[in-house]
C-alpha cells in the first residue's frame, strides 16, 4: 500500500466522527464552560425592603417616582381653574337670581302699590341673604334662604387633610410676614355699599373676603316704567366657594395619599429588585478587589448567581461570573505555567551541572569533546525552551490586543503548504494538499492561525520518514470550516491522545530528545479556542479495524467558525 492510499479519498471520512465530529458539525458550535460555583446564598444573607435605607440607588428610585407624583398633584391643586370656574358660575347665578327677584318685586309692587315687607314666601337659594331697599336706601325687608334637607350638606364633609395643610400654610405665612388680613365687612353693609350703583339703574357685583371665607354680593334695581322702585341685594353664604374648593381638594389629596402609598410600596419593591442584587454584586466585587479587609471569607470570590433574571442584572451577573471564572482560570493557568517552566528548566540545568562537574575530572580529550557536545545541546535546548516560553506567555495578551480581520484561510493554507511542502520533499516525505477552489473567509488573526497550521504541519513532517506522506485538506460544512492534517507516521500512543495538547508534553523518539519544547500543540490549541474553534488529535485506522491495532498514522482536526 502506497503512502497516498493510506488516506481517505475525500474529506468525509474522519475517524470517530460520532464521538468527536459532532463538536464542530453539530448546531452548537461553541460549547461554553459550565461555571462550577453555586450561588452565594449564605454570604449575601436574606435582605428585605428595610435594607433600602442603606442604598443610595434605592433612595433615588423612590425619590424620583414620588417626585413625579407630587408634581402632578401640585399642578392639579394650584393650577386647576376649578375655583375660578366656581366663582364665575356663582356670580352669574347670583345675578340671575337677583334679577329674577327684582322682576317678582316689580310684579308685586304693581299689584299692591308698594314693595312687600315679607320675603318668607320667596324661593331663595340656601344660605343666601336677601335685602329689599327702598329708593331712599332704607332696608324694608330681608330674608335668608333655607337649606333643602333632601340634599346632602357639603359642610358636613370632613376635610382634615385640607384643613391641616391650610393651617400649615397659614403658620408659614405668619412667619414670613405675608398673612392676609380678612375683611370685616358683612352682608348688610355690602348691600348698602352697592345700593348707589344699583339705584342708578345698573347691576352691581362685589366679592369680599371675610373671616369665614369669600362671599359675593349682587345688587340690581327694581325698575317699573323707567322708574326705580327699589333695589334687591343678595349675598351668598360666607365661605361657600371655599368649602366647595376644600371638598374638591380633599378628594384629590385622599387619592394622592393612596397613590403615594401604592407608589412608595411599588417603588420599594422595584428598588429592592434592582438595588439589592447590585449591592450583592458590588460587595462580591469589592471583596475580590480589596485584599486587606479584615472580614473576608477564605477561598475564591463568588459572584451571586442571578442568571435566572431575564434582565440586565441577570446579564451582568452572568458576565461577572464569567469574568471571575476566566480570571481564576488565568491565575491557575499562570501558576501551573510557572511550575511547568521551573520543572522544564531544571532538566537541562541538571544536565549542564552534571556535564560541567564531569568535565573537571575528565582526562581524555574525547570525553571532554563529548561533554562539550552535551553542554552545547543543553544550551540550545534551554534557548529554545526560553524562546517558546516567552512566546507562550505573550500569547494571551496578544490575542486580546490584536485587531481581528477577515482573511481567506484557503489562500493562507496554500502559501504555507507551498513553502512547507518543499521541506517535506527534501526529507523524502510526500506532501499532498486538497483545498476548495473558492475562497473561505474567516474572521480572526491571520498570523496566529497560520502559526497553528505551521505547528501542525511541521509536527507531522517531523514524525515522518523517507517514503511517508503528509496530507492537508479542508472542507466547508455550513458555517464551519474543517482543516485536517494527516500523516503516515507512527501515530499517537493511545495513552498520549489526551495529553498531546498539554504544555511541555512531548513523546518523541530518543533521537529527537531536546529538539522540541512541547509547547507547539498547546499554543495551537490556545489560538484555535481563542477564535471560537476546536482542535483534537486521533489515530488513523481502517473503519473496521480493532482499536488495539497499529495505527496507519495520526490526524489533527481543526474546526473554525466562518
Tens of pLDDT, residue by residue over 316-349, are 888 887 888 877 777 777 777 777 677 667 777 8
Beta strands in 402-444 (DSSP E): 405-408, 430-434, 441-444
* Residue with more model confidence, 18 or 82: 82
User: What's residue 560's pLDDT?
Assistant: 92
User: What's residue 360's pLDDT?
Assistant: 82
Q: What angle do CA 103, 107, 112 make, to 5 degrees?
A: 145
User: What's residue 535's pLDDT?
Assistant: 92
DSSP annotation of 511:
G
Residue 93 CA to residue 101 CA, distance in Å, equals 12
Beta bridge partners of 213: 210
Task: Report the side by side order of strands in the sheet with 469-477.
Answer: 430-434, 469-477, 480-487, 553-561, 534-540
The alpha carbons of the chain give a radius of gyration, in whole angstroms, of 50
User: Does pLDDT of 63 surpass 90?
Assistant: no
Q: Average the pLDDT over each of 108-122, 155-169, 370-384 and give the range with the smallest value.
A: 155-169
* Mean pLDDT, residues 371-380: 82
Which homologous superfamily does the CATH classification assign to the domain defined by 81-146+154-238?
PAS domain (3.30.450.20)
Tens of pLDDT, residue by residue over 51-60, are 555 667 777 7
Fold of 305-401: Helix Hairpins (1.10.287)
Residue 89 CA to residue 86 CA, distance in Å, equals 5
* Mean pLDDT, residues 431-455: 89
Tens of pLDDT, residue by residue over 457-476, are 988 998 888 889 999 999 99
Q: State the average pLDDT for the chain.
A: 75
Residue 248 CA to residue 82 CA, distance in Å, equals 9
* Mean pLDDT, residues 8-31: 37
CB 320 within 8 A of CB 285: yes
- Would you tell me how many other CB atoms lie within 10 Å of the CB of residue 35? 14
* Mean pLDDT, residues 157-170: 67
Beta bridge partners of 218: 205, 234
User: What's residue 518's pLDDT?
Assistant: 66
Domain ranges in the chain?
1-32+402-562, 81-146+154-238, 305-401
CB 446 within 8 A of CB 412: yes
Tens of pLDDT, residue by residue over 390-424, are 776 667 666 767 778 888 999 999 999 998 988 88
Grade residue 545 by pLDDT with cuts at 50, 70 and 90: low
How, if at all, do strands 430-434 and 469-477 pair? Answer: parallel
CB 546 within 8 A of CB 540: no
pTM: 0.47
CB 558 within 8 A of CB 482: yes
What DSSP string runs through 301-330? ------TT--SHHHHHHHHHHHHHHHHHHH
| CB neighbour list of residue 438: distance below 8 Å, 6 or more residues apart | 410
| CB neighbour list of residue 31: distance below 8 Å, 6 or more residues apart | 23
How, if at all, do strands 553-561 and 534-540 pair? Answer: antiparallel
Residue 525 CA to residue 535 CA, distance in Å, equals 6
User: Does pLDDT of 20 surpass 50?
Assistant: no
Name the most confidently modeled range: 8-17, 125-134, 279-288, 421-430.
Answer: 421-430
In 3-state terms, what secondary structure has residue 33?
Answer: coil
* Residue with more model confidence, 63 or 436: 436
Residue 523 CA to residue 505 CA, distance in Å, equals 12
Share of the chain above pLDDT 90, in %: 8
* Mean pLDDT, residues 34-50: 41
- Residue 235: is it exposed, middle or buried by C-beta count within 10 angstroms (0-12/13-18/19+)? buried
Tens of pLDDT, residue by residue over 175-231, are 666 555 555 567 788 888 888 888 888 888 887 766 666 678 899 998 888 888 888
User: What's residue 31's pLDDT?
Assistant: 34
What DSSP string runs through 524-537? HHHHHHHTT-EEEE
Phi and psi for 553 in degrees, rounded to 5?
A: 155, -170
CB 376 within 8 A of CB 351: no
CB 119 within 8 A of CB 143: yes
User: What's residue 414's pLDDT?
Assistant: 92
The residue behind cell 500543540 is 521
In 3-state terms, what secondary structure has residue 151?
Answer: coil
Grade residue 513 by pLDDT with cuts at 50, 70 and 90: very low
Name the most confidently modeled range: 338-352, 361-375, 492-506.
Answer: 361-375
Grade residue 373 by pLDDT with cuts at 50, 70 and 90: confident
Grade residue 526 by pLDDT with cuts at 50, 70 and 90: confident
Grade residue 136 by pLDDT with cuts at 50, 70 and 90: confident
| Chain centroid to CA 452 | 38
* Mean pLDDT, residues 13-32: 36
User: Does pLDDT of 44 surpass 50?
Assistant: no
The residue behind cell 471520512 is 13
Residue 290 CA to residue 26 CA, distance in Å, equals 44
CB 321 within 8 A of CB 303: yes
DSSP annotation of 121:
T
Fold of 1-32+402-562: Heat Shock Protein 90 (3.30.565)
Q: Which of 478, 335, 485 is CA-nearest to residue 417?
A: 485
| CB neighbour list of residue 350: distance below 8 Å, 6 or more residues apart | none
Q: Which of 126, 323, 337, 322 is CA-nearest to residue 243?
A: 126
Tens of pLDDT, residue by residue over 215-262, are 788 999 988 888 888 888 888 887 677 777 777 777 778 888 888 888
User: Does pLDDT of 15 surpass 70?
Assistant: no
DSSP 3-state percent helix, strand, coil across the chain (nearest 5): 55, 15, 30
Q: Which of 47, 102, 52, 48 is CA-nearest to residue 219?
A: 102
User: What's residue 474's pLDDT?
Assistant: 93
What DSSP string runs through 209-265? EETTEEEEEEEEEEEETTEEEEEEEEEPPTTHHHHHHHHHHHHHHHHHHHHHHHHHH
User: What's residue 169's pLDDT?
Assistant: 63
* Residue with more model confidence, 298 or 260: 260
Residue 305 CA to residue 318 CA, distance in Å, equals 7
Amino acid at each position: 500500500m502506497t503512502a497516498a492510499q493510506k488516506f481517505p479519498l475525500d474529506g468525509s471520512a474522519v475517524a470517530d466522527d460520532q464521538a468527536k465530529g459532532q463538536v464542530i458539525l453539530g448546531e452548537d458550535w461553541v460549547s461554553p464552560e459550565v461555571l462550577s460555583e453555586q450561588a452565594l446564598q449564605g454570604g449575601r444573607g436574606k435582605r428585605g425592603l428595610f435594607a433600602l435605607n442603606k442604598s443610595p440607588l434605592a433612595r433615588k428610585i423612590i425619590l424620583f417616582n414620588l417626585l413625579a407624583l407630587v408634581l402632578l398633584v401640585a399642578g392639579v391643586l394650584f393650577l386647576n381653574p376649578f375655583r375660578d370656574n366656581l366663582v364665575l358660575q356663582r356670580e352669574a347665578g347670583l345675578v340671575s337670581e337677583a334679577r329674577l327677584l327684582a322682576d317678582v318685586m316689580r310684579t308685586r309692587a304693581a299689584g299692591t302699590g308698594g314693595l312687600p315687607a315679607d320675603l318668607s314666601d320667596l324661593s331663595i337659594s340656601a344660605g343666601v341673604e336677601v335685602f329689599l331697599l327702598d329708593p331712599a336706601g332704607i332696608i324694608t325687608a330681608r330674608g335668608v334662604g333655607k337649606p333643602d334637607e333632601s340634599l346632602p350638606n357639603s359642610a358636613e364633609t370632613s376635610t382634615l387633610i385640607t384643613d391641616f395643610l391650610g393651617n400649615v400654610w397659614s403658620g408659614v405665612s405668619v412667619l414670613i410676614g405675608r398673612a392676609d388680613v380678612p375683611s370685616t365687612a358683612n352682608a348688610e353693609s355690602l348691600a348698602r355699599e352697592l345700593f348707589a350703583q344699583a339705584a342708578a339703574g345698573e347691576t352691581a357685583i362685589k366679592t369680599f373676603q371675610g373671616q369665614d371665607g369669600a362671599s359675593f354680593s349682587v345688587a340690581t334695581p327694581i325698575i317699573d316704567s323707567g322708574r326705580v322702585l327699589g333695589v334687591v341685594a343678595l349675598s351668598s353664604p360666607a365661605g361657600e366657594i371655599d368649602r366647595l374648593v376644600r371638598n374638591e381638594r380633599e378628594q384629590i389629596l385622599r387619592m394622592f395619599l393612596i397613590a403615594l402609598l401604592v407608589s412608595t410600596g411599588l417603588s420599594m419593591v422595584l428598588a429592592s429588585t434592582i438595588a439589592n442584587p447590585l449591592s450583592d454584586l458590588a460587595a462580591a466585587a469589592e471583596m475580590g478587589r480589596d485584599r486587606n479587609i479584615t472580614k473576608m471569607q477564605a477561598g475564591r470570590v463568588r459572584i451571586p448567581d442571578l442568571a435566572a433574571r431575564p434582565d440586565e442584572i441577570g446579564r451582568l451577573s452572568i458576565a461577572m461570573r464569567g469574568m471571575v471564572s476566566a480570571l481564576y482560570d488565568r491565575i491557575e493557568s499562570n501558576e501551573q505555567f510557572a511550575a511547568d517552566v521551573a520543572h522544564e528548566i531544571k532538566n537541562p540545568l541538571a544536565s549542564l551541572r552534571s556535564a560541567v562537574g564531569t568535565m573537571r575530572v575528565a582526562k581524555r580529550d574525547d570525553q571532554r569533546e563529548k561533554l562539550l557536545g552535551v553542554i552545547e545541546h543543553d544550551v540550545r535546548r534551554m534557548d529554545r525552551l526560553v524562546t517558546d516560553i516567552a512566546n507562550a506567555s505573550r500569547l494571551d495578551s496578544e490575542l486580546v490586543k490584536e485587531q481581528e480581520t477577515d482573511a481567506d484561510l484557503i489562500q493562507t493554507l496554500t502559501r504555507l503548504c507551498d513553502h512547507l511542502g518543499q521541506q517535506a520533499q527534501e526529507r523524502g516525505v510526500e506532501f499532498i494538499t486538497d483545498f476548495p477552489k473558492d475562497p473561505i473567509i474567516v474572521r480572526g488573526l491571520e498570523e496566529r492561525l497560520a502559526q497553528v497550521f505551521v505547528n501542525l504541519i511541521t509536527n507531522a513532517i517531523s514524525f515522518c520518514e523517507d517514503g511517508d506522506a503528509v496530507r492537508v485538506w479542508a472542507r466547508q460544512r455550513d458555517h464551519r470550516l474543517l482543516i485536517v492534517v494527516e500523516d503516515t507516521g507512527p501515530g499517537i500512543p493511545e495513552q498520549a491522545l489526551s495529553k498531546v495538547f498539554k504544555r511541555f508534553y512531548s513523546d518523541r523518539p530518543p533521537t529527537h530528545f531536546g529538539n522540541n519544547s512541547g509547547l507547539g500543540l498547546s499554543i495551537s490549541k490556545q489560538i484555535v479556542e481563542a477564535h471560537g474553534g476546536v482542535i483534537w488529535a486521533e489515530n488513523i485506522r481502517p473503519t473496521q479495524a480493532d482499536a488495539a491495532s497499529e495505527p496507519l498514522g495520526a490526524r489533527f482536526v481543526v474546526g473554525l467558525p466562518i
